[in-house]
Chains A and B, each alone.
Chain A
Amino acid sequence: MAAKKEALLSKQNRKLLSDPLNDNNPIAVQVLGICSALAITVQLKPAIVMSIAVLFVLAASNVIVSLLRNLIPNRIRIIVQLLIVASLVIIVDLSLQAYAYDVSKELSIFVGLIITNCIIMGRLEAFALANTPWKAFLDGIGNALGYGVILIIIAFFRELLGSGKLLGFEILGHSGKTIADSTGLYAMGYMNNGFMLLSPMALITMGIIIWVQRSKNRKLIEK
Chain B
Amino acid sequence: MDRNSNAYTFLFAIIMVIVLGASLAFIAESTKEARKRNVELEKKQNILSAIGVNVSRDQAELDFDTYIKKQLTVKSDGSIDTLVNAFTIELKKEVKRATEDQSLPLYIAEKDGKTYYIVPLYGAGLWDAIWGYIGLDSDENTIIGAVFDHKGETAGLGAEINQSWYEDQYIGDKIMDENGNFVSVKAIKGGTPLSNLHGVDAISGGTITSDGVTDMVEERLARYIPYFKNN
Interface residues of A (CB under 8 A from B): 39-40, 42-43, 46, 71-76, 80, 83-84, 87, 90-91, 94-95, 97-99, 101, 108-110, 158-159, 162-163, 177, 194, 197-198
Contacts and interface: CB of A to CB of B under 8 A. Distances in A.
A107 B156 CA distance: 12
B222 interface: no
A108 to B, nearest CB: 5
Contact of A97 (B3, B8, B24, B38): B38
B31 interface: yes
Given A101-B57, A197-B156, 14 more contacts: A42-B157, A43-B155, A71-B3, A73-B12, A80-B13, A83-B20, A87-B24, A91-B23, A97-B31, A98-B31, A108-B151, A108-B152, A162-B156, A194-B205
Given A73-B4, A83-B20, A97-B31, A194 B127 contact: no
Contacts of A158: 156
Interface of B: 3-4, 8-9, 12-13, 16-17, 20, 23-24, 27-28, 31, 34-35, 38, 42, 57, 127-128, 150-152, 154-157, 159, 194, 204-205
Nearest to B29: A94
A94 B151 CA distance: 15
Residue from A73, A74, A84, A95 having most chain B Cβ neighbours under 10 A: A73
A109 B35 contact: no
A115 B225 CA distance: 45
Given A87-B20, A94-B27, A109-B127, A159 B34 contact: no
A94 B27 CA distance: 8
B222 to A, nearest CB: 29
A46 B4 CA distance: 43
Contacts of B4: 73-75
A75 B24 CA distance: 25
A159 B156 contact: yes
Contacts, number: 80
Contacts of B159: 108
B155 A46 contact: yes
5 contacts: A42-B155, A73-B4, A76-B13, A87-B24, A109-B152
A98 B35 contact: yes
Contacts of A74: 3-4
A194 B202 CA distance: 13
Contacts of B194: 177
B16 A80 contact: yes
A99 B151 contact: no
Given A42-B157, A73-B4, A109 B205 contact: no
A99 B4 CA distance: 43
Closest 6 CB pairs of A and B: A42-B156, A109-B152, A98-B31, A98-B34, A73-B9, A101-B38
Contacts of A97: 31, 35, 38
Contact of B42 (A87, A101, A197): A101
Contacts of B31: 94-95, 97-99
Contacts of A76: 9, 12-13
B24 A91 contact: yes
Contacts of A108: 150-152, 159
A198 to B, nearest CB: 6
